[in-house]
Amino acid sequence: MQRSEQTIKKQVSQTGFGKGKAVRDSQNEEEKGYVVSLHSSKRESSRGPPKGEDPTKMAAGTSRIVRYILFAFFGVMILYFVSSSSIPRPKIPTTKGDFSWKGSTEGPAEGEFDGEKETHKTKGAATAPAQVIPRPSAAKPGAEHAPTTPKPSTGLPAPIPAGGKMNATFVTLARNSDLWDIVKSIRQVEDRFNRNYHYDWVFLNDKPFDSTFMKVTTSLISGKTHYEQIPQEHWSYPDFIDQEKARKVREDMAERKIIYGDSQSYRHMCRFESGFFFRQPIMMNYEWYWRVEPSIELYCDVGYDPFKYMADHGKKYSFVLSLYEYVETIPTLWDSAKSFIKKHPEHVVKGNAIDWISDDDGETYNHCHFWSNFEIGNLNWLRSPAYMDFFEQLDRDGGFFYERWGDAPVHSIGAALTLKKEEIHFFNDIAYWHVPFTHCPTGDQLRLDLKCHCNPKDNFDWKGYSCTSRWFETMGMEKPQGWEDQK
């Protein structure tokens, strides 16, 4: 014990501390733990350092550990700040001003306050409020940005016309089971076009829509949504149809493996699309329509309003794909069309497009038709006496059930006979896919301007089974540059 006390006194004297004074100076941090006073030296010395260990080395070891911890801490902090500063972080919305209201770029429209958007319904369908989705705030003017490659002007029309929107709607025939296929189409249409225009969307179904279908589709669409159940008389056999005869036809077509040859629902669908969709009560509120089916793709931006373009240029029907119809499904369709021509010559306009659908001035049908799963058209034309008389002739002849007439050749023949050919428009710049055919715009610069992501080699327009080349010839139009590379 005497030796230990002497050792401690020696350490104290080496640090420069005065005898009889407590430790006041922390000049040497390594010896902080050994500060003593002479008043307590005997009590402390009675414990002494562990046998065989030097207190100075103990202090040095403790100091090294502290230094290592500090170095590690500062290293982690430096890495954190470096990594955080290199990742852009969107502003987290905290106030009403940080929200982008669905359906408007200028603020909440009537009925959209408190996170709700008005959803219209008919015939007892339930409504589903759409959510207001918070989005990162736009960058403020003058904010610094990383260097970018300037993009040349595309020369396309302004997105929103000065005169406002047209009286138009999208229209989709779908069942509840089609939900997850139609939402893909909705996202394509909204992202490529409708997010700038907020046009309405009408859904038609031969059964009531369920709440999930309405809730999900409403949440994705920037315009108002409408859900209507088709009347039974528009989705059933008319009383003049011999159902036993129709059944035998289906059985025969099934044996011959004709596509949809044995399907009753497909026939009801084709008849409905040919003569009834535009007469539904909700559709009577509109002048223009754009038909959208499940699982389609729009490959390019649509940077202008096609409805307004058609109105401004006197167009009443449009297409993006055309092809030959299956002969086995329409053996007597042209016979019915000729009966219409004979009964109603007043409806067959001069300057029509009969040369596109017939190679012998109307004697026979060459089976060309516009593929109607995409079409933008004028509803007043479909509701006109000319088209309605045409449909009534075909409907009475029974080919929707005794054969398997599709709505595509029906619309096409009706348009070719009752419209001037200049009233029919080919949208080269609206890129579209519906299994199994693709319309990818012809023209390298056009595809770049429209931010297209389709492969031009997949373009069907100039292939042998397409009727689009024939359309250009009928119209006396020059084919776009580069069409030979897509044959």
Task: Give catalytic residue positions.
Answer: 375
Q: Is the peptide bond before 231 cis (omega within 30 degrees of 0)?
A: no
User: HSE of 419 in the Cβ direction (CA atoms, 13 Å)?
Assistant: 24
Q: How far apart are CA 125 and CA 118, in angstroms?
A: 14
CB 433 within 8 A of CB 369: no
Tokens of 396: 């009475």
Query: Helix, strand, or coil here: 319?
Result: strand
Q: How far apart are CA 185 and CA 191, in angstroms?
A: 10
Q: How far apart are CA 424 and CA 370, in angstroms?
A: 10
CB 226 within 8 A of CB 197: no
Maximum Cα interatomic distance, the chain, rounded to a whole number of Å: 135
Compute φ and ψ for 156, nearest 5 degrees: -80, 160
CB 458 within 8 A of CB 464: no
CB 431 within 8 A of CB 456: no
Sign of the dihedral defined by the CA atoms of residues 415, 270, 383, 338, in that order: positive
Nearest-10 Cα torsion for 385, 386, 392, 395: -140
CB 312 within 8 A of CB 360: no
Query: In terms of Cα–Cα distance, which of 322, 240, 236 is closest to 272?
Result: 236
User: What is the C-alpha radius of gyration for the chain, rounded to an integer number of angstroms?
Assistant: 39
- Given the structure tokens 């005869």, which residue do they identify? 245
Tokens of 233: 């008389």
Backbone torsion region of residue 486, taken as left when φ is above 0, otherwise alpha when ψ lies between -120 and 50, otherwise beta: alpha
Query: In terms of Cα–Cα distance, which of 246, 259, 251 is closest to 327?
Result: 259
Let me know the angle formed at the C-alpha of 140 by 111 and 133, rounded to the nearest 5 degrees. 30
Q: How far apart are CA 450 and CA 151, in angstroms?
A: 12
Compute φ and ψ for 483, nearest 5 degrees: -65, -30
Q: How far apart are CA 16 and CA 308, in angstroms?
A: 95
Distance of CA 31 to the CA centre of its chain: 71
Q: How far apart are CA 433 and CA 439, in angstroms?
A: 6
